[in-house]
Amino acid sequence: MFQKILVANRGAIARRVIRSLRQMGIRSVAVYSEADKDLPYLAEADETYAIGAAAPLESYLNQDLLLQVIKESGADGVHPGYGFLSENATFAARVNASGARFIGPSPEWIEAMGHKTRARETMARYGMPMSPSSGLLDEDWTATLAAAEKIGFPVLVKPAAGGGGIGMLAAHSAEELQNAVTQARSMAGRSFGSAEIYLEKLMVQPRHIEFQILADRHGNACHLFERDCSIQRRHQKVIEESPAPRLPRTDVEAMGDRIVQAMEASGYDVIGTAETLRDRDGLFSFLEMNTRLQVEHAVTEEITGIDLVAAQIRLAGGARLNEVIPSQPQINGHAIEVRIYAEDPVRFYPSPGTLKTLRLPSGPGVRVECGFSEGNRITPYYDPMIAKCIVHAPDRAQAIAGMRAALEATVIEGVKTNIPFAQKVLADATFASGEVHTGLGMQILGQ
């Protein structure tokens, strides 16, 4: 078991990991940039280290500085959280080479799944269903158009690296495709350092269903059910829930079992999330594998009672799956999460500023993960998420009602937030019916 773990992240996820470390009796090491020196997670860690200026490249993405902290602190493990270096195979390999252990999948798996076209090729070999797609596109417009016509319009232009919906653009015609390819290359290059893109069939009103995977280093894997992440704004998740509403359990369980079989056959390890789309005919299609803890992991924790952070740490340390979780995990009730962002609720532009008032909800069934305290500043340097609110209830209707009450009780002043958008979705009759799809959020907003 680990003795001391460096949390190579910030804010809410750093705070979340530190909480599990304390419960496990493992000492925690926190790092912070100049912009984060007043955030509350620092007071909750056993040790803290300043790692540079506010810009991520000079702090949380600076591998040399983080490796130096590993050496100075004597940490024998590194938890990367999500974002930043959590899916960076080079960093994972360097951590392991330093004598510490990267708390995530093996670097080989991070590398294999970090590139979307290679990930699709890998998972196709293990029987995962795939929607039609192209290989990597070169600069030959004739070949690009031919690939799109072979797939059939509409298509989605997607960066091969990165995530979070950045650079994903729809094209319904050849003219739209040419513009989308140019824009997607530019966005991908700026955001991920790679301008590689490919095409994928654009499904009409699909469901975004993802499966939480745990696996040990001894060939065993399992899924902890699914999360429905269909409520999005511009391809980025805003509301997640589990179990997925109005889906046959037999269909969902069959897909989950299929993914587990692929994970065991391939030798995948520690933690991951298999993301899929489900079309209106009920067919699943593999999208990608996220080789890290997800932002929305708390939804699964609430319905299963399993601490995913603790499980991830123990599996990375070599524990067997049956030592970490119950042999037959069960779904208990329903959980919904809303991501609360400092952003304009209509145009979704970031809204940095000082949190002059920060009153978050509490009560039975309500859980809040927040990286800030009143008076802290939401800076333009990082993701503008303020908090995640999770509500667990006996059924979906009660979870929705509880979330509506929780958001009504939330008071945030000093920045704009997306709470009005979330409230519109939660009050919508189509959402309440469970007939959700990836375009519903923007449809409710009238966009």
Count of structural domains, the chain: 3
Residue 190: per-residue pLDDT = 82
Phi, psi for 85 (deg, rounded to 5): -100, 15
Phi, psi for 297 (deg, rounded to 5)? -60, -25
Look at residue 371 and tell me whether its pLDDT is greater than 90.
Answer: yes
Is the same domain home to 150 and 221? no
How far, in Å, CA of 157 to CA of 181, rounded? Answer: 7
* Residues paired with residue 334 on neighbouring β-strands, in sequence order: 393
Residues 282 and 368 occupy one common structural domain: yes
Tell me the pLDDT of the chain averaged across its residues.
95
Percent of the chain with pLDDT over 70: 99
Q: Tell me phi and psi for residue 3, to 5 degrees.
A: -105, -35
Residue 409: CA count within 13 A, CB half-sphere: 13
* 123 within a domain of the structure (yes/no): no
Residue 353's region, left for phi above 0, alpha for psi from -120 to 50, else beta, is left
Q: Which residues contact 27 (CB under 8 A, 6 or more apart)?
A: 3, 4, 5, 21, 46, 47
pLDDT value, residue 447? 76
- Claim to verify: residue 251 and residue 173 sit in the same structural domain: no
- 292 is known as an active-site residue: yes
pLDDT range class, residue 217, cuts 50, 70, 90? very high
pLDDT, tens digit (0-9, with 9 covering 90-100), for 242-267: 999 999 999 999 999 999 999 999 99
Q: Does residue 126 fall inside a structural domain?
A: no
Q: What does the block give as tokens for 304?
A: 């299963």
Mean pLDDT score, 372-389:
97
Catalytic residue among 27, 185, 278, 292: 292
My answer on whether 182 and 67 are in the same domain is: no
Q: Cα(356)–Cα(374) distance, rounded to whole angstroms?
A: 6
Per-residue model confidence (pLDDT) at position 12: 97
Same domain, 157 and 236: no
Contact present, 165 and 133 (Cβ < 8 Å): no
Task: Identify the burial level of 236 via C-beta atoms within 10 angstroms of its C-beta, where 0-12 means exposed, 13-18 middle and 19 or more buried.
Answer: middle
* The two three-digit tokens of residue 101, written as one number: 């252990």
Q: In 9-76, which ranges are E strands?
A: 27-32, 47-50
Per-residue pLDDT at 188: 84
Q: The domain spanning residue 70 has which CATH number?
A: 3.40.50.20
Alpha-carbon distance 84 to 121, whole Å? 25
Same domain, 184 and 233: no
For residues 251 and 182, state if they share a domain. Answer: no
Does residue 163 surpass a pLDDT of 80? no
pLDDT of residue 373 exceeding 70:
yes
Note the pLDDT tens digit of each residue in 50-60: 999 999 999 99
Rg (CA), the chain: 21
Q: What is the CATH number of the domain that holds 163?
A: 3.30.1490.20
Note whether residue 111 is domain-resident. Answer: no
E strand or H helix at 378: strand 377-378
Mean pLDDT computed over 320-327: 95
* Arithmetic mean of pLDDT, 103-124: 90
Look at residue 80 and tell me whether its pLDDT is greater than 90.
Answer: yes
**What pLDDT score was predicted for residue 117?**
82
Rounded to an integer, what distance in angstroms lies between the CA atom of residue 187 and that of residue 168?
9
- CA atoms of 96 and 74, how far apart (whole Å): 14
Residue 305 has pLDDT above 90, yes or no: yes
Looking at residue 118, its pLDDT comes to 84
What's the pLDDT band for 164 if we cut at 50, 70, 90?
Answer: low
Domain that holds residue 195: 132-201
Please give the pLDDT value at position 406.
Answer: 98
Claim to verify: residue 302 and residue 359 sit in the same structural domain: yes
Find the angle CA(81)-CA(86)-CA(87) to the nearest 5 degrees: 150
